[in-house]
Amino acid sequence: MKILANDGISESGKNKLEEYGFEVDLTKVSQEQLVSYINDNHIVVILVRSATQIRADIIDNCPSIKIIGRGGVGMDNIDVDYAKSKGINVINTPAASSKSVAELVFSHLFGCVRFLHESNRSMPLDGDSKFKELKKAYAGGKELAGKKIGIIGFGRIGQEVAKIAIGIGMNVIFYDKFIEETSLDIEFFDGQNITFNLVSHTFDEVLENSDFISVHIPASDKYIIDSKEIGKMKDGVGLLNLSRGGIVNEEELLKSINSGKVSFAGIDTFENEPVPSMKLLMNSNISLTPHIGAATTEAQDRIGVELADKINEILN
């Protein structure tokens, strides 16, 4: 049986699939050519990440497809319910990339409180001629220890963010529609284990009391963070969105940064991917990455192997 990994798959995932007896096709097929390619090559499983869209036209016109697999968490690029109604299995890997996304949150956060996102732009241009001026400009950094981080959405990724925050001495509060309280088990290199019991706060409490806010919720058809929500935040708050574009109103975010209400933002997901707003890209108070939250070697290995195991379980 043939599997098309249209957005790629890790070598470990490919090897695992081949061990199970599947033929893995790594051809990158354009969206317009997908239907004909799937039918011509009798593809049984199509694997995607965030680039390829699997909509009703593909589902209706590719009768050989038995499984649609998403390497990652969010499945907003797949018509999940429609596929299931047609008897197609839809799978994803919700746990595999949690640590990678959480670590990228703190890459942005550490960078922003010490102005790395700005100094890395300025030093190549002016480091040799304005060293003292730059040193003065970036001298007012902050420590994260002792500060309060508010996490909106406390699923697997939100909880991994909390574990790192606790590990560096931050105070964690969270809001989640479905989780009222939870226990976080933090394991250390020497085998020690410490459990922290956390209770959910209200949405407004998180907005009003956090020094930094990190958003980790599924795709939404409306803004979760808009002008009203930003207005409730502390002056000088830092805001991070590494979940989905369209959750934060980027125009209002820019206004709040320009006014000083928000001191900085860290963004990995954008409203208009793959062509983000130029105003956003050019703002020196925003730390930017091109939707790479899950793009670590370790996460991709876990994703590939998990997909292979799930496919084998379904088909064999």
pLDDT score recorded for residue 53 = 97
In what order do the strands lie in the sheet containing 212-215? 171-175, 148-152, 212-215, 237-241, 262-267, 286-288
Which of 70, 108, 117, 291 is catalytic? The answer is 291
pLDDT score recorded for residue 73 = 87
**Whether residue 273 lies in the annotated active site:** yes
> How many angstroms separate the CA atoms of 204 and 230, rounded?
10
95 versus 66: which is more confidently predicted?
Answer: 66
Which of 103, 205, 251, 273 is catalytic? The answer is 273
> How many angstroms separate the CA atoms of 128 and 187, rounded?
44
Mean pLDDT throughout 93-110?
96
**Whether residue 55 lies in the annotated active site:** no
Q: Which residues pair with 149 in a beta bridge?
A: 172, 212
94: enclosing H helix or E strand: none
pLDDT score recorded for residue 74 = 85
**Whether residue 291 lies in the annotated active site:** yes
> How many angstroms separate the CA atoms of 179 and 214, rounded?
17
> How many angstroms separate the CA atoms of 114 and 118, rounded?
9
pLDDT score recorded for residue 26 = 98
> What residue spans of the chain are helical by DSSP H?
11-19, 34-40, 56-61, 80-85, 98-113, 116-126, 131-137, 156-167, 203-209, 227-232, 250-259, 278-282, 297-315
pLDDT score recorded for residue 291 = 94
- Positive or negative, the Cα torsion across 165, 166, 169, 170? positive
pLDDT score recorded for residue 134 = 97
Q: Per-residue pLDDT tens for 285-299?
A: 999 999 999 999 999
- In Å, what is the CA distance from 3 to each residue of 19, 25, 50, 208? 13, 6, 17, 48
pLDDT of 256 strictly over 90: yes
Q: Per-residue pLDDT tens for 13-40?
A: 999 999 999 999 999 999 999 999 999 9
Q: Per-residue pLDDT tens for 52-75?
A: 999 999 999 999 999 999 999 889
Which SS3 state, helix, strand or coil, does residue 59 take?
A: helix
Residue position matching structure tokens 């939707």: 291
Which of 244, 271, 302, 306 is catalytic? The answer is 244
pLDDT score recorded for residue 284 = 94
Residue 53 near residue 73 (C-beta atoms within 8 A): no
In what order do the strands lie in the sheet containing 89-92? 23-25, 2-5, 43-48, 67-70, 89-92
Q: Per-residue pLDDT tens for 161-178?
A: 999 999 999 999 999 999
pLDDT score recorded for residue 55 = 98
pLDDT score recorded for residue 303 = 96
> How many angstroms separate the CA atoms of 118 and 256, rounded?
18
- In Å, what is the CA distance from 165 to each residue of 44, 237, 298? 43, 16, 21
Residue 274 near residue 253 (C-beta atoms within 8 A): no
Domains and CATH numbers, the chain: 2-94+297-315 (3.40.50.720), 98-288 (3.40.50.720)
SS3 helix, strand, coil % of the chain, rounded to 5? 40, 20, 40
Which SS3 state, helix, strand or coil, does residue 58 take?
A: helix
- Half-sphere exposure (Cβ direction) of 183: Cα atoms closer than 13 Å: 5
pLDDT of 130 strictly over 90: yes
DSSP-derived letter for residue 209 is: H
Max Cα–Cα distance, the chain, nearest Å: 66
pLDDT of 50 strictly over 90: no
Residues 6+ apart with CB under 8 A from 158: 151, 152, 174, 176, 214, 216
The model carries a pTM of 0.91
Amino acid at 80: V
